[in-house]
Amino acid sequence: MLLNLHHSMVKTLIDSETKELPVCNFKQPEELLKALDLEIGKEPASNDTILDACKSVMDYSIKTEMTEVLNTNLHTYEVAPVFVMMEKYMMRKLSKLVGYDNGDGVLCPGGSFANMLGMHLARVQIDPDIKSKGMGNNKKMVLFASSEAHYSIAKGASFLGFGESNVVRVETDKIGMMKPDVLDQKIQECIQQGSIPAFVMATTGSTVLGSCDDLNAVADVCEKHGVWMHVDAAWGGGVILSEKYKHLMNGVHRSNSVAWNIHKMSTGLVQCSIFLTKSSGMMEECNRFNAEYLFQPDKHYDVSYDIGDKTVQCGRKVDILKLWTLWKSRGDNGMAKQTDNAFENAKYLVDQIKKREGFRLVLPEFQCPNICFWYIPSRLRNKEENADWWKEVSKIAPQIKRKIMEDGSMMIGYNPLTTKGYVNFFRVIITNPMTTPQDMDFILDEMDRIGHAL
């Protein structure tokens, strides 16, 4: 199939360069929707179906320069008709997955950007005049996230003018889940101080421990105080595709917005980041500028298909093609299987760590397939675990990491976690669909071989 697709792409490129093809094969949105086989089923599409679909993508895309046949700008229907229809289809599909019946979404340049877009919508909902007058006329707005939440909330606070000092970190429990009672207390303190609680970022799959906040409990607090609830599911969003693990996102339908990186747990190509919001039209309300050189109201087609004003970007890559082809080729069941396979390998690794001398889990169980553990060399086993002992343990992971990289055998990260007082430990992220239990054994065998005598 790949060879046939390559031939088709080369022919399209050559024909467009030699002007054998028209610049555009225009169809009205309703006609184009009928011509494209966008629908995704439970089972993977056949190779022939994928090939035919890709040919249709090329046939109905705009042909400009040779290198840009499939690298157009996703802002208006006339410039990117196929990709507009793809994105609208996939955003409807994903919105329904998270329980947003009237939701909408957009592809973003990374999960951090998607989180910031949620912050932006939250503040405009509080005061629509912020868009024109800025934040100077308002009381101080405060953002809330767990102590394990991604650092993009701090970057976003700085970038958007909230200020990093107005990010309140909420204490987590022993496995890294935000404590809803503490969140409630922090919001009440914010109100008592005369500030505005503007945004709460819950997490499904924290970066280090893979912790998943109780979304229903967080939603109870947000609804009580009328605060925008955003879910950073950049890492853990793939759980919602699995019947076995979607309970980790129970309550997501009560949130206002979600960030989800398909290029993480679902192994899409980087980058493939999604922002979803419950309120259709809210993105346009916040970001619309009506640039007259792009968004003329008197075009010869339905201009609601000009989607460029959903986001603050003008130029936007057609990342939707990666998302749609991935999902079309796997089907819903294949996407779910990818999640299940990652969890199965992670469970096997945890079980092996528990059985092997010299390995110690950071947590007894993990909610997502990022498994964290220490390796304890022979000389440190069965010794008093005081401050000096932990200082020595902290030196082990960097030494093993250096050796495995020099040998070229593996690429595995390590880090401390100061919020919990943990010294350097290994963090194995399991997503590769080709990974097997034998690979998990290799990781532990190699670490033991290198680290035993350290």
What tens digit of pLDDT does each residue of 392-436 get? 999 999 999 999 999 988 899 999 999 999 999 999 999 998 999
- What's the confidence (pLDDT) of residue 68? 47
What tens digit of pLDDT does each residue of 303-336 get? 888 888 888 888 888 899 999 999 999 999 999 9
Backbone φ and ψ for 340, nearest 5 degrees, come out as -60, -40
Please name the residues in contact with 105: beta carbons below 8 A apart, sequence gap of 6 or more: 91, 94, 95, 274, 275, 276, 277
The stretch 128-138 carries a mean pLDDT of 86
- What's the confidence (pLDDT) of residue 70? 66
CA–CA dist 300, 303 (Å, integer): 8
What tens digit of pLDDT does each residue of 220-260 get? 999 999 999 999 999 999 999 999 999 999 999 999 999 99
Please name the residues in contact with 83: beta carbons below 8 A apart, sequence gap of 6 or more: 61, 72, 74, 318, 320, 321
What tens digit of pLDDT does each residue of 190-228 get? 999 999 999 999 999 999 999 999 999 999 999 999 999
What percent of the chain stands above pLDDT 70? 93
Task: Band the pLDDT of 65: cuts 50, 70, 90.
Answer: very low
Longest dimension (CA), the chain: 78
* Burial label, 26 (beta-carbon count in 10 A; 0-12, 13-18, 19+): middle
- What's the confidence (pLDDT) of residue 325? 92
Quickly count: other Cβ atoms within 10 Å of residue 165's Cβ.
Answer: 11
HSE toward the beta carbon, residue 391, CA cutoff 13 A: 3
Looking at every residue in the chain, the average pLDDT score rounds to 90
Six token digits for residue 405: 């990289």
Q: What is the pTM of this model?
A: 0.90
Classified as helix, coil or strand, 150 is coil
Task: Band the pLDDT of 48: cuts 50, 70, 90.
Answer: confident
Q: Report the range of poorest mean pLDDT among 127-136, 152-161, 227-236, 426-435.
A: 127-136
Cis peptide before 193 (omega within 30 of 0): no
Q: If you write DSSP's letter for every residue of 98-120 in order, what string do you get?
A: TT-TT-EEEEESSHHHHHHHHHH
Q: Is the pLDDT at 282 greater than 70, yes or no?
A: yes
Task: Band the pLDDT of 151: cuts 50, 70, 90.
Answer: very high
Q: Report the range of poorest mean pLDDT among 21-30, 94-103, 363-372, 415-424.
A: 21-30
Q: Which residue has the higher pLDDT, 293 or 239?
A: 239
What tens digit of pLDDT does each residue of 102-119 get? 999 999 999 999 999 999
Give the β-pairing of 370-375 and 359-361: antiparallel
